[in-house]
Amino acid sequence: AQTVTQSQPEMSVQEAETVTLSCTYDTSESDYYLFWYKQPPSRQMILVIRQEAYKQQNATENRFSVNFQKAAKSFSLKISDSQLGDAAMYFCAYREGTYKYIFGTGTRLKVLA
Amino acid sequence: KAGVTQTPRYLIKTRGQQVTLSCSPISGHRSVSWYQQTPGQGLQFLFEYFSETQRNKGNFPGRFSGRQFSNSRSEMNVSTLELGDSALYLCASSFVGEGNSPLHFGNGTRLTVT
């Protein structure tokens, strides 16, 4: 069965610094998608970044980028120039097919002023 | 475009009661999924509907059920509530047809069972 593991329950980063959140997954499939979602205190899950497994190039979205290592089944999220508004729970998610998502248990990110 | 709308935002029920949660997806989205979120457990998949048909179901007891209407709106029902059902229930919709189309989530319904 597919699993998604986020081994860091909580992380802290100084404002303007860079932080990396880890995510590993287990699958025997070759075609799948990976996502990072952010959940601020408002509770709404917001898509941060997505990665197609068939693409070797790492996805980037402004200050957010991923390090996708397909062979190692690793999908880490790097946040550069951290801002106070980045403080939230971050969830890594795996999807195969069109609708089967598996989420990790999340990493709580604290941003220190 | 309006986002995913979930109602109500908060619910307090007692053990043994039943509850119905509602979700209106983004216009044009025909897939609706439901997740249960509890501290330390992340998001647990409940079920997914597409064109009024349940395509996939998670590992939850039969007390948890759902349905989808012809306008893609969805409801989730939990019968005979237990204390352990207290959680944030999230609904998400997606546009089926684009390979990398993500889930779009609502604000969730916070259910407290006393």
Q: Which residues of chain B does A98 touch, with a Cβ-Cβ cutoff of 8 Å?
A: 31, 94, 96
pLDDT tens profile A81-109: 999 999 999 999 998 776 778 999 999 99
Pair B87, A27: CB distance under 8 Å? no
Output the pLDDT for position A42: 83
Output the pLDDT for position B17: 98
Nearest to A100 among B56, B99, B108 (CB): B56
Q: Is B95 on the interface with A (CB under 8 A)?
A: no
Output the pLDDT for position A77: 98
Q: How many CB atoms lie within 10 A of CB B91?
A: 30
More reliable by pLDDT, B27 or A96 = B27
Q: What's the rounded Cα separation, in Å, for the pair B108 and B95?
A: 19
Output the pLDDT for position B96: 75
Pair A96, A2: CB distance under 8 Å? yes
Average pLDDT, chain A: 93
Does the pLDDT of residue B112 top 70, yes or no? Answer: yes
Output the pLDDT for position B97: 65
Give every residue of chain A whose pLDDT is below 70, as ranges: 1, 98
Q: At a CB cut-off of 8 Å and minimum separation 6, what does B92 contact?
A: A45, B4, B32, B33, B34, B35, B103, B104, B105, B106
- In degrees and rounded to multiples of 5, residue B83 shows phi and psi of -55, -35
Q: How close does chain B come to A45, measured CA to CA in Å?
A: 6
Q: What's the rounded Cα separation, in Å, for the pair B57 and A59?
A: 31
Q: Which residues of chain A does B57 touch, with a Cβ-Cβ cutoff of 8 Å?
A: none
Output the pLDDT for position B98: 60
DSSP line for B27-83: TT--EEEEEEEETTTEEEEEEEEETTEEEEE-S--TTEEEEE-TTS-EEEEE-S--G
Nearest to A106 among B42, B45, B102 (CB): B42
Nearest to B3 by CA among B38, B34, B37, B27: B27
Output the pLDDT for position A99: 73
Output the pLDDT for position B99: 61
Does the pLDDT of residue B1 top 80, yes or no? Answer: no
Nearest to B102 among A47, A102, A103 (CB): A47
A44·B105 Cβ contact <8 A = yes
Grouping H, G, I as helix, E, B as strand and the rest as coil, residue A85 is helix
Q: Is B25 on the interface with A (CB under 8 A)?
A: no
More reliable by pLDDT, B38 or B2 = B38
Nearest to A35 by CA among A100, A83, A97, A103: A103
Q: How close does chain A come to B79, measured CA to CA in Å?
A: 25
- In a mutational test of the A interface, the residue from B100, B101, B107, B110 whose CB has the highest number of chain A CBs within 10 Å is B100
A45·B105 Cβ contact <8 A = yes
pLDDT tens profile B45-103: 999 999 999 988 999 999 999 999 999 999 999 999 999 999 999 999 998 766 667 89
